Structure 1
Amino acid sequence: MTKRPIHPLRAMREHLNLTQKRLAEEAGVGAQTILRAEHNKPINAESRRLLCDYFGMTPEALGLVSNEQKAVGNRRPPDTPAIALPEIPTSPIAQAIAQGIVLASKQLESADMAHTRFHVLQRYGLAPHLT
């Protein structure tokens, strides 16, 4: 049985412990958009831009651009930073730390939760630093 690789958008969403619905709300897109993107279905350019802005990543890094779109020249704007997916820790100590960070992030739930979560993850090097 061959395992299908996880979609980059789903990997980032799960890394930040977000549901499809929550990511859609925070990024300003529809929940169906997240579902479509994670199943390699095309999404519109504005939704791609909003998701890329939310994660601070390129459409290619998030798996939002098909090979056909790349060939046509649907590239990221030159001022968009190219940020690779972070390495997920595998040692027991790193996993325990990551679990602690996730628990701390959950405790910071508030009206400004997305902003707070992003800055907490940034502080621990689990989210990109945007300039």
Structure 2
Amino acid sequence: MPYRSQFVIIEDNLIDQFVTKKLLKKGLDINPVCIANNGKEGIDWLIKNQTTNPLIILLDIQMPIMNGFEFLEEFDKLPEDVKARTEIFVLSSTLDTDEIKKVKANKYVSDFWNKPFRLEILTNTFLQV
């Protein structure tokens, strides 16, 4: 049975986009997945696609145009109903402990996952009863 939330990957790296999409398909039967190549595209997608469906955002930190931290600042300005039905998981290969602390301290971030992440992380997070 497919997972019912809409997934949005906000990631500039094409290989990471591909791998994440494959993991979502394999682990949760998610297809299609929306892709935004940077935080600005992600915010624009959220504004344009005002739905009532729950959203799961998989967010990279380091991206051109608008990085993950800037995305989170803009996300804070969105309507409350959008924020209430959205969960954000940050995916990053950063080793910078200050960045990791900053991510984990953000009230909109549900979790921080190191890239590359394993299929078990998805299934353990989203298929719990």
Q: TM-score, normalised by structure 1?
A: 0.31
Higher relative contact order (CA closer than 8 Å, sequence separation 6+) = 2
Answer 1 or 2: which has greater helix percent: 1
